[in-house]
Amino acid sequence: MKISRNKILKWGWIIFFSPFVLLILMILLVMIGVFGSLPSFKDLENPQRKLATSIISADGVTLGTFHVENRSPVNYEDLSPNLVNALISTEDIRFYGHSGIDFNSLARVFVKTIIGGNVTGGGGGSTITQQLALNLFSERSTNKIKRVMQKLQEWITAVKIERSYTKEEIIAMYLNTVPFGSNAFGIRAATQTFFKKDPADLNIEEAAVLVGLVNGPTMYSPVRNPERALKRRNHVISQMCKYGFISENQRDSIKNIPIDMSKYSQQDHNSGLAPYFREMIKRTMNAKKPEPGNYNSDADYQYDLYQWENNPFYGWCGKNTKANGENYNIDRDGLKIYTTIDSRMQRYAEQAVEEHIGKYLQPTFDREIKARKRLFSEDLTKKEVDNIITTAIKQSERYREMAKAGFSHSEILKTFDTPVKMTVFSWTKGDLDTTMTPRDSILYYKSLLRAAFMVIEPQTGHVKAYVGGANFKYFKYDAVKQGKRQVGSTIKPFLYTLAMQEGYTPCSEFACIQPRIELPSGEFWEPKSTTRDIHRGKMLTLKKSLALSDNWISGQLVEKFGAQALADMCHRMGIHSHMDAVPALCLGAADVSPFEMVGAYATFANKGVHIEPFFVTRIEDNKGNVIGAFVPESNEAISSETAYLMLNLMQGVVNHGTAISLRTLYVPAGQIAGKTGTSNSQSDGWFMGTMPKLTGGVWVGAEDRSVHFSGLRLGGGSNMALPIWGIFMKKVLNDNRLNISKDDVFEKPVNIQLNFDCDTVDTTEDVENRQENENIEDNRNLF
């Protein structure tokens, strides 16, 4: 059968045009949404991304983030030119010449594919704009038909993006969407993770490393695959030279530079500065309305309820909504939370805790435990110790998971006596890989000393440093705000405040004799003496008795003014924890958090005005709009005259009393008011100290109160806690940027005309106190 020429031509044209007609038809179907909706202009303006919330210090340093994906957007102006040049030369050299689709690259890819060649990085045909479209709005499919439809969606979306944005905006959007591995999403997170830099500060070789990660975050990871990463980086360097962004000499010299990963740190909730502080912020912002059944103390419930009702920051996420009516999500909405923390002071505070406990106190305690051959107090019976261990076992995650899986109690206990490989925290070595039984690991952690340290600016209430524990990765419990321990003699300044406001002065004298106070039960309370025989029965000034932390005169004062008056004074100055109005309260028989204690002590340095410790000034949304601004709450607790008298009393503690090692070892000059404190059996060591511009408080102790030093020489607050404050303040005073000077003075009220020169001559007690502290230093030098 003979086919006419016209029919051949007809079918030839049909075959020739069919692919184009089919392509146009498919594009039309994609555009009308047959294969899924395309993004609107609104979608392009507000792509649905999980943006990290940034926690920013008062001096502009990002302390860390809250995130599902660690992603914080940047603008084009925030990018290093090296980064832009590396990206364009490697991924899309004709970026500034096309409108979203590079048909030259598509043709080249088509020819290479037909011939059988492989497409290499940078030659895949997809422009930066297409990759952005895929990153923003598509899920990659392995189905070939779906992938064709997806590619058409990318093309159309890319054209939309090109019409809606400038080239610079597209580059910034693209770099904000790219995953770089190591839990870094977007260029800001990547530069912080790999180089501890902002995107604007990248040099050529660093920019090349990050651009090399774009198409293979794992394959080209400089941490997991350093050799591949180096080859990939050098390929990017060659591309930059090929297209004239760098010279041949630069190319050759840079290729010889190794990749520096010395500052690499994967950004997660456990790393970075102030992890306990950041978690406290999150806990506060996400707080729900308090329920009384969740509290051990009605005082704590009433305080939190008051905060919920009156403090706009407390439960902020649940109280505030976005334009769409949804509550803010701190992990997804890309907020910027501006805090009062000073990153330099925070670093000094963390260093001070690590230096004192890691280099001295924990090794000293370990030696004492080894020498006495027991961990727990000798007052405990074997049964009581066993109960402590059993309780710890049952509270462990291992026990809970095995019980949930159906194992019996005896089966679980057997595993606790089987050695396994594990990583534990060590004060001296950080992460320590070892092999031990889970039971031994519990005992090991029971032997570790913990610490809490907070510093505020008394005139504003701004929290400047916040160390909630030993290591947030291993210990999530925040000992600054959640932890409450007996405060010991650090409560005595509030007792002496009662005397000052009733007309007594630092030079007023009391007889050093034991008081005998009758209790409602008919029994008598008689405090033990803490002073040596040389002072007993003699007259002591209040300044001297506080310097010596004398219990007998404290007992006389509480008998005179009443325990309820002492509790009321503590509450007025910022302590909200419950206090039993009993005579023993004058010796610190109350559990209080360091957060409360620091706020209360700052009242003295702020002329009697208490300001609730304050830690967030404002919150911005991801567009930079201020959506929350906060001011601290304050009240006049005592008169400025009373506050100044108390500062004078507490300066005697530092200059002549139990805190004199602060002068001999750390801060020899400058006005410092302070008080040491030690609870029963040395379970808790405290030091509260204030200079005119900074007030700080330190608590040190073990998790269990039955784990402690055997005596006051090592277990007292002057040895346990005071050195942390001293090390910190020494670092602060040496940093001129912080504007904290030894020349700062407490402002004296104009109407105070008193003689403060009592007790200026050293007594035998002063000399003995100094000698005791010198002996402590001698012992430290031996270790």
pLDDT per residue over 153-192, tens digit each?
Answer: 677 777 788 888 899 988 998 898 888 988 888 899 899 8
pLDDT over threshold 80, residue 314: yes
pLDDT over threshold 70, residue 388: yes
pLDDT band at 438 (very low <50, low <70, confident <90, very high): very high
Q: Which two tokens stand for residue 76?
A: 């084009």
- What mean pLDDT comes out for the span 24-31? 54
- What mean pLDDT comes out for the span 531-553? 88
Q: Which amino acid is at 756?
A: F
**Between 12 and 736, residue with greater pLDDT:** 736
Question: Lowest-pLDDT range, 79-93, 134-148, 562-576, 635-649?
Answer: 134-148
Q: How far is CA 62 from the centre of its chain?
A: 11
In this prediction, residue 144 carries a pLDDT of 52
b vs e for 35-46, b when ≥16 Cβ sit within 10 Å of the residue's Cβ?
beebbeeeebee
* Bridge-based pairing state of the strands 449-457 and 524-525: unpaired
pLDDT over threshold 70, residue 30: no
In this prediction, residue 122 carries a pLDDT of 39
Instruction: Of 592, 606, 601, 615, give the one whose Cα is nearest residue 636.
Output: 606
DSSP 8-state symbol, 335: -
In this prediction, residue 537 carries a pLDDT of 84
* Bridge-based pairing state of the strands 695-702 and 449-457: antiparallel
In this prediction, residue 136 carries a pLDDT of 66
Residue 430, helix vs strand vs coil: strand
pLDDT over threshold 90, residue 22: no
Helices (H) and strands (E) in the chain, counts: 31, 22
* φ and ψ at residue 606, rounded to 5 degrees: -105, 35
Instruction: Of 535, 537, 540, 771, give the one whose Cα is nearest residue 649.
Output: 540
Distance CA 187, CA 177 (A): 8
Instruction: Of 585, 598, 373, give the one whose Cα is nearest residue 463.
Output: 598
DSSP 8-state symbol, 652: H
Tell me the pLDDT of the chain averaged across its residues: 87
Distance CA 322, CA 623 (A): 12
CB count within 10 Å of CB 173 equals 22
In this prediction, residue 387 carries a pLDDT of 95
Distance CA 715, CA 699 (A): 12
pLDDT over threshold 90, residue 118: no
In this prediction, residue 95 carries a pLDDT of 87
pLDDT band at 244 (very low <50, low <70, confident <90, very high): very high
Residue 184, helix vs strand vs coil: strand
- Residue 339, strand partner residues: 616
pLDDT over threshold 50, residue 506: yes
Q: Name the one residue in this structure whose structure tokens are 């004298």.
A: 509
pLDDT over threshold 60, residue 38: no
pLDDT over threshold 70, residue 780: no
**Between 183 and 625, residue with greater pLDDT:** 625
pLDDT over threshold 50, residue 769: no
pLDDT band at 536 (very low <50, low <70, confident <90, very high): confident
pLDDT band at 34 (very low <50, low <70, confident <90, very high): very low
- What mean pLDDT comes out for the span 700-712? 96
Instruction: Of 86, 57, 111, give the one whose Cα is nearest residue 207.
Output: 86
